[in-house]
Amino acid sequence: MILKNGHLSLPTDPNTLFDRAAPLVLEVGFGDGRFLAHLGAAHPEWNLLGAEVSLGSVWRAFRRMRRERIYHVRLYKGSAQFIVRDALPAASIHRIYVNFPDPWPRKKHLGNRLLQTEFFRLVSTRLEDGGDLQLTTDHPEYFGWAVENGRESGCFDIAEGEPPPATLQTKYALKWRAQDKPIYHVRFQLRERAEPHPNLLTAQPMQHAMLTGSLDRVTTFSKQVHPFDGGHVIVLEAFRGLAEDTMLFRVVTEEPDLRQELLVQAWQREENGVFVSLQPFGEPLATRGVREAVRAVADWLVSQGLELKEAWI
């Protein structure tokens, strides 16, 4: 039910995630999962995918789905932009719901808003024929801004109206209605598609490295930042095993709309030297950033006096 990056390919046939062919419906920012659970009960014929950046919300929604016995749902912790742009193929989404998104009200933060013109154009390439995106919000300025950006994309027929009743029972809707705030709703119906949007991220073969020398000479560590074209790697911490023939490195990779936490291991092989490779912790998606993480650790070990013997993918 919880979808990890390692479960994805770039792109992913969504039917493989559910073991059945069915219309795919995405909710962006599902919170505690109330609306997603409603969709699951009302539409057993849909495959439901939720994207949410809050780990706490993912676990609350997971418990709700288990409690309400809704199993045709997959919950993803991470960016909806990554899911739509890189993980899902063209014309694969039946509908997208965006309920009460963060309005990012400060002018200097407008670039963080989801429903920008370029995102609408991207969505137009991922929706199936007749598909739509539906927005419900309590924020009038964000509502008008989103409608204008949708119109600028040139890809949608736009119809304002009453929100689906179930959206009025979500956590934030109940809060705003208790304060007598109006709720706004609009449907963006696909009319035509923009030019194809290629993936920014692609799957990569994994990097490994063999070094000569001994890990014994490595006695200190400081955080390392390794930039590359399209992102960067941060080697945060290094840990030595009790047998002192192994080191583990905690690493973060950051690529467009995708952040992954990894473990890279270096261990002593008496006959061959030191071997450096990715460990399966967290089931990461094999992107260039993950490959660069292994490279960054190997380069740092070289800076500590070891010598690179061989690197291969």
Q: Give me the active site residues, please.
A: 102
Pairing label, strands 273-278, 224-228? unpaired
Q: Among 298, 277, 296, which residue's Cα sits nearest to residue 228?
A: 296
Residue-wise DSSP of the chain: -EEPGGG--SS--HHHHHTS---EEEEES-TTSHHHHHHHHH-TTSEEEEEES-HHHHHHHHHHHHHTT--SEEEEES-HHHIIIIIS-TT-EEEEEEES-----SGGGGGG-S--HHHHHHHHHHEEEEEEEEEEES-HHHHHHHHHHHHHHT-EEEEEEPPPGGGGGSHHHHHHHHTT---EEEEEEE-S--S----S----PPPEEEEES-GGG------EEEEETTEEEEEEEEEE-TTSSEEEEEEEEEETTEEEEEEEEEEEETTTEEEEEE--TT-----HHHHHHHHHHHHHHHHTT-EEEEEE-
Q: How far apart are CA 235 and CA 224, in angstroms?
A: 5
CB 120 within 8 A of CB 188: yes
